[in-house]
Amino acid sequence: MARKKPAEEHENLERWLVSYADFMTLLFATFVVLYALAQSDVNSFKGIEEALRKAFSQSIFNSESSIMEGQDSILEGYQGAMNPLMLEYMSQKYEQTSYEDIKDEIEKLKEDGVSAEIDDRGLVIRLNSHAIQFAPGGADLSQKSYEVLNAVAKIIKDKFSIHYIQVEGHTDSDPISNPKYPSNWELSSARASRVVRYLINSQGFNPKLFIATGLADTIPVVPNTTAQNKAKNRRVEIIILKNKNKHLSKKNMQEIIKEVQIEQKKVNMQEKQPSKAIEGLIGNDKELLQNVIDLTDQYENENKRLDSLQSGDYMHDGSKPEFMEQNNERK
């Protein structure tokens, strides 16, 4: 008697649903992150980041690997969506909160002639003739002016690295005419440019962030009727423009972000001075030195990640250290 033929196995035509479900989950997470950046308080960003990282470290299909396995997560590293630069660039809530923080810090410099207010353009930091002292009819700064600018620059840099900054020069209504500055237009422009040049050369700001403009006596804060009022109108205003006003500049923000990241890496390199023993082994091989620094950073990051696990089990969050992956490949 002939044996029955085994039933043919049917091809599973629904396997695409697994990949589709992964994609839809990632897409949903992206919009959740964008919504959180726009709506959440700055103090809650760390909580959001940690919650999302934990959520995505577990596979949605209970498989052995996470859908966001490894250290290249969108929530980690300098390329991630929670990157401080991206936070500054995308989040209106971060921007508004930072404006208010800076405004509070500027209040401490009130006696030095510095004030701040928030308007439709952004955060306006006003330095009057007491704070920013120029030579009469000129654009040379006094020593005190440098000290005030240093304090203001530090406050700005603590919050903003990639916001456009517009520096405006203002004069009183007294006419001026000398070989160097035929009118208040040239004088106010030169004073604004002098402040911009100092912030770039001495404080390390990216030159592409700045817009310098002179407005002469066209926008007085008080009528130019007394000597005291004229002194108030002689001023420089540093305006940190809102991101919604970034169209005011033709500059490429993505290019600026890359440059700032490169500068940050250079600063990190300078801060990480190798020991004399390492220098003796490496010599002038900068590429090898960078590899040593990168390896040290990875080692430190891995230790921090392992320490953060509640159970102490490296598989707790669904990801594996790089050296474990390499051992598995060799096997």
Best CA proximity match to 71, nearest among 274, 289, 306, 230: 306
pLDDT of residue 235: 95
Mean pLDDT of 11-30: 77
Q: How confident is the model at residue 212 (pLDDT cuts 50, 70, 90)?
A: very high
The answer, yes or no, to whether residue 73 has pLDDT greater than 80, is no
* Cα–Cα distance measured from residue 162 to residue 179, given in angstroms and rounded to the nearest whole number: 38
pLDDT averaged over the chain? 75
The answer, yes or no, to whether residue 165 has pLDDT greater than 60, is yes
- Helix axis angle for 92-107 and 143-157, nearest 10°, is 150
pLDDT of residue 18: 76
- DSSP H helices, 168-239, are 184-203, 227-233
Map tokens 């604004």 to a residue.
192
In angstroms, the Cα distances linking 99 to 8, 95, 164, 282 are: 69, 6, 14, 46
Counting residues of the chain whose pLDDT is more than 90, the rounded percentage is 36
Strands 210-214 and 122-127, sheet pairing = unpaired
* DSSP states along 142-167: PHHHHHHHHHHHHHHHTT-SS--EEE
Q: Name all domains of the chain by residue range, CATH numbers in brackets.
A: 20-82 (no CATH), 93-255 (3.30.1330.60)
pLDDT of residue 101: 94
pLDDT tens for 131-153 read 999 988 899 999 889 999 999 99
What's the DSSP call for residue 254? H
The answer, yes or no, to whether residue 178 has pLDDT greater than 90, is no
Who wins on pLDDT, 265 or 175? 175
Mean pLDDT of 263-279: 60
Q: How confident is the model at residue 250 (pLDDT cuts 50, 70, 90)?
A: low
Mean pLDDT of 211-236: 94
pTM of the model: 0.58
